[in-house]
Structure 1
């Protein structure tokens, strides 16, 4: 089966709220001796849960191998190699279940910093996560998603440093996995395309980020299409989708000079993610890209519950879009049951 023959996938990052007992990684502090092997036991259970939910894309925790590259804790540096067989087994299971895997390294992974030490630490993190994907036997769809980084007072110079790091310092196995996402504060879609033209790095289009930051005024569908075109033929692209938070937030503050507290309402930031995805907004965006095949990582606060709700909503209000994800009555019934259970 070719990559474009199967339905498009909706993905979930890291945590599953439908089963809070599931652990995305071994989160113990270093004094307790956490290990990748423990994280993989949790990942194995998560894959089973994803299979039951019929969710076929998952972003693994960036802390899957705890302290694996920490410069002051060398006792943890060998755990990826120690778990080669375990990684191969979990990768085989993901392939058998048709679950696409990825990493999104932390905000501290910065390739365009003027500090070469920070860049070196960032490359070490990327190399470790790329090695895990390699040992899992994952194909080119399994990627490491990062942002351009900081502007450091000169956006053009910062972009150029990213290109220089790619050309001079990144190992081949990292380049093979790395993809670049437009962000919502510093570097927009045009910046990511500029880097792609000079490096060939694949691009991840983030829908909410594009609305938050689009200095060049790129048309939404045009920008998304150009990002999708950055992927080679035969490798399915993916995008990120979330809706902005709209609910007001209640904040209690002490009244100066008294013991009283007052409650104030604060408007949400446009960059904040909502708990769920607006299905109307999602369907409209998908209809701007007819005939295009790609997977969608749903970056909503409600995680897998948001995916289930989106599937149900699409079946009701946008069956043409639901069909692109292979959704039917069985998915609607399963989603309704799980959402009802979660609400109790």
Structure 2
């Protein structure tokens, strides 16, 4: 069992330094390349090291147009970048940095459309290949969702299982499956795991947004963590829901004019920051369980930098699980103040 501190991670865009780019986002006519993205990634690694952040989700567009069906000139860029990928993989291991990908919602393995499924497998294969060329261990994963319901949830789940059997070995080795907030619950992905062996991701906000089985949190979390091998630390996702009033512009049906109306929050929306008391409560429910936490707050690294001193201040027992001692509080608060206005 790995007894090292639990990690807190952030996804893709770094907001503490807006000059940092997560990928080469130039248009195809400018010949963007994975090698350029990896240069940007090196700078992000510097930022993560400076702020002692040890888990990071890379952009799913790291290799631009690498799987675009109509642009074959980009298809070889992953292999062309093998040396650079190996080098940055060494850097990640030396830095103790856990890396992952989370492809977009357009990656759908249970679609009735075989063309979409084939394209989705191609994307997953490309991202798995990059992790392999980086020389990363089995903790470096590619996260996906089940996909669409297509008017028949059971058939949709079965199609995912059927597609799993056709996936290339590198994809099956890297792929992990996450339940979502609208379509497929934790119970659904546990059913898929039973039929495939795929590892699973627990998402705290999704669990509360979509749990038609009314499953209990800790037993569900335990069951999902148990889908990982004993020698590979699981990871999970945490975010807080947005709570603020929304003001929406809509057309008045009678007058045809645009009017501003007040609207309640949508609980599937992610808040800018992590609500610390919610996080503390969850971590106490998860006492004794071992997993890393990817924070999916809207302000990304700023949310992590805000959460750490909050944990030391309000829950030293939880802070200690993440390697944050009370003695570090002043340093953490100074770091927070350096990136965020004082309270």
Q: TM-score range by the shorter chain?
A: over 0.9
Asked if 1:118 corresponds to 2:116, the answer is: yes
Q: Deviations over 1:1-56 (max 9, x none)?
A: x6x12100000000111000000000111111100001000100101100111110
Give 2:18's aligned residue.
Answer: 20
Q: Of 37, 46, 49, which residue of structure 1 is paired with 2:47?
A: 49
- Kept in 2, the 8 Å contact 1:311–1:331? The answer is no
- Kept in 1, the 8 Å contact 2:141–2:176? The answer is yes
CA separation in 2, counterparts of 1:194 and 1:140? 22
Give 2:218's aligned residue.
Answer: 221
Q: Of 84, 87, 99, which residue of structure 1 is paired with 2:85?
A: 87
Q: CA deviation at 1:256?
A: 7.2
- Kept in 1, the 8 Å contact 2:236–2:292? The answer is yes
Structure-2 change in CA distance of 1:82 and 1:231 (3 Å): same
| Aligned length in residues | 341
Asked if 1:6 corresponds to 2:7, the answer is: no
Q: CA deviation at 1:328?
A: 2.4
Give 2:101's aligned residue.
Answer: 103
Structure 1 gap segments, 5+ residues each = none
Q: Of 275, 279, 283, which residue of structure 1 is paired with 2:280?
A: 283
Q: Deviations over 1:129-181 (max 9, x none)?
A: 000000000000000000000000100000000000001x1000100000000
Asked if 1:171 corresponds to 2:168, the answer is: yes
Give 1:64's aligned residue.
Answer: 62
Give 1:207's aligned residue.
Answer: 204
Structure-2 change in CA distance of 1:331 and 1:45 (3 Å): farther
CA separation in 2, counterparts of 1:140 and 1:256? 55
Secondary structure of 1:326 counterpart: coil
Give 1:314's aligned residue.
Answer: 311
CA separation in 1, counterparts of 2:329 and 2:34? 36
Q: Of 179, 182, 188, which residue of structure 1 is paired with 2:179?
A: 182
Give 2:127's aligned residue.
Answer: 129
TM-score norm. by structure 1 comes to 0.96
Q: CA deviation at 1:331?
A: 4.7
- Kept in 2, the 8 Å contact 1:252–1:262? The answer is yes
CA separation in 2, counterparts of 1:154 and 1:120? 21
CA separation in 1, counterparts of 2:155 and 2:229? 28
Structure 2 gap segments, 5+ residues each = none
Give 2:248's aligned residue.
Answer: 251
Q: CA deviation at 1:257?
A: 8.1
Q: CA deviation at 1:336?
A: 2.4
Secondary structure of 1:102 counterpart: strand
CA separation in 2, counterparts of 1:77 and 1:272? 35
CA separation in 2, counterparts of 1:245 and 1:333? 29
